[in-house]
Amino acid sequence: MTIVGENNTDIMLDPNGQPVSDSSGDFKIVSGDACWEQDLRLEALTEPGELFYEDENGDEAYGFGLLDFSHAENDEFTQKEIEQRVKNKLSKRTYLDQRKTRQKISFENGVFRDYVSVSKQDAVDEYNVELTTEEAEVVSE
In this prediction the pTM is 0.82
Average pLDDT (65-86) is 93
Can you tell me whether residue 87 is helix, strand or coil?
helix
Q: How confident is the model at residue 1 (pLDDT cuts 50, 70, 90)?
A: low
- The Cα 28–Cα 112 span in angstroms is 34
